[in-house]
Structure 1
Amino acid sequence: MPADSVREDIRHFLTTRRARLTPKQAGLPDFGGRRQVSGLRRSEVAQLAAISVEYYTRLERGNVGSVSEEVLDSLAGALQLDDVERAHLAALIRAANAPHRAADRDGGTSHVRDSLQQVLDAMTGAAAFVRNAHLDVLATNQLARALYEEALDTTEQPPNLARFVFLDPRARRFYRDWDGIAHDAVGSLRTEAARTPGNTDLADLIDELATQSPEFAMRWDAHDVEYYRSGQQRFHHPAVGNLDLDYDALEIPADPGLTIVTYTLSPMSTYSDVFRRLQAHAAATAPTTQG
């Protein structure tokens, strides 16, 4: 990502963060009357962060060469950034201040060790797969292949979950909370784009999605960031019906950039019968090996 693009991302990120806050939400007095801006004014952000308006204006223009941790913390507090957003802003600042380097065609980590596949296969009670930071699915166990059979049914190799979410109409039926998974996918890609600004393979993926999906483009322009860590995902599987599963995303320290995502059934779940049907479907559709 060129330096000018990084500065532009900083500008948009800061302006969208202050636009979402009202004076009341920020704890500032509201004297009524018509405001010329949505959200907070630059002067109000500067007041909350205890910095000058001139300095904040420079920061919002992407001139971040002298930003200290104290200033970053003050900005995060003033704009009510969560931990993910603060980390994202810090990554953008690092990218803006990094020495210029040639573009790096980094396709994201794509090699999965045999021992990782063994770990996946040992998870017989969970659907589990390995993905990289581009949301490419690199390895699956039997249950994950059955759960994600529509997402994996593509000529694009490796299959990419962001492409599935935004470019495959089946995704809106498969994810019963499609809006939530779309938000998470865009937020994850934007987080990775800030972390690896020279990653032209990721830039190509983002350009492809923004060109082919107005929904993706609109969400990308919102500059929201997200970590997909844990929660519940609501599915509608074409063969077994509705199914709610708990998910956990586990980063792999030995393989930076790779994450194991697991889907498990809560002990108190009312979907036990559906989960058993999914397990039976997985066994019935598993590829046979020749002896």
Structure 2
Amino acid sequence: MGHALLAGHLAPESPDSPATRPNLTRMLFLDEQYRELFTDWNGQAQLGVASLRLVAGRHPHDRALAELIGQLAMNCDEFATRWARHPVRTCTSGVKHLRHPLVGALDLSFENLVIPGASGQRLIAYTAEPGSPSEAALRLLGSVTAPVAEDPTAVRR
């Protein structure tokens, strides 16, 4: 469901492999379709850079992180300009306002949870207000993107 919400334009198997797993910060600056999801892209971009700067300060010797920052700085002037301002901030909860290409407007509360351990991985949980148009849109998204169940009565040849 998370893939359908944020990266439905990418191959469904892309999160399965570290080599093809989408990076949300990279997508925010370099993937036009992901970028279009956010009604307040500027706010998301500022928060993304500030959060990345915080992570970079905590993991100064992380080669993959340095490569990500370098890739973004070289390929996106908007990122480079924001990075040069040195913003630092964390965001653990709030509301994301999205414009999804399949189901339209969504206002989703989110919680950013840190996975215990040294990996630095986080889990972002999105929820919609019960009974809201956003909840209906999430249900619709789930129904149109759910894998088709195989018919157990079908005869295989």
TM-score, length of structure 2 as denominator length? 0.81
Verify: 1:147 aligned to 2:5, yes or no: yes
The alpha carbon displacement at 1:149 in A equals 2.7
Once the two structures are superposed, residues 224-268 of structure 1 have per-residue CA deviations (whole angstroms, 9 ceiling, x without a partner) of 112131000011111111111100011122564121110001236
Report if the CA contact (8 A) 2:7-2:34 is conserved: no
1:185 aligns with 2:48: yes
1:168 maps onto 2:21 in alignment? no
The correspondence for 1:259, drawn from 122, 128, 153, is: 122
Structure 1 unaligned residues grouped into runs of 5+:
1-142
1:240 counterpart = 2:103: yes
- In structure 2, how many angstroms separate the alpha carbons of the residues matched to 1:151 and 1:165? 14
Displacement of 1:180 in angstroms is 1.7
**Is 1:209 matched with 2:83?**
no
- Name the structure 2 match of 1:7: none
What is the 5 A alignment of 1:1-291?
A: 143-150=1-8, 152-153=10-11, 157-254=20-117, 256-267=119-130, 269-283=132-146, 286=147
- Distance change >3 Å, CA 231–CA 172, structure 1 → 2: same
Determine the C-alpha separation between the residues in 2 that align with 1:161 and 1:151: 13
Higher strand share: 2
Structure 1 runs (4+) deviating above 6 angstroms are none
Does the CA contact (< 8 Å) of 2:6 and 2:34 recur in 1?
A: no
Distance 1:287 1:219 in 2: 43
In 1, the alpha carbon distance for the partners of 2:149 and 2:76 equals 37
Letter of the 2:6 partner, please give it.
Y
Distance 1:272 1:200 in 2: 40
Q: Where does residue 155 of structure 2 map in the other structure?
A: none
Q: Distance in 2 between matches of 1:287 and 1:221?
A: 47
Q: May I ask how many residue pairs the two structures share in their alignment?
A: 147
Q: CA deviation at 1:277?
A: 1.2
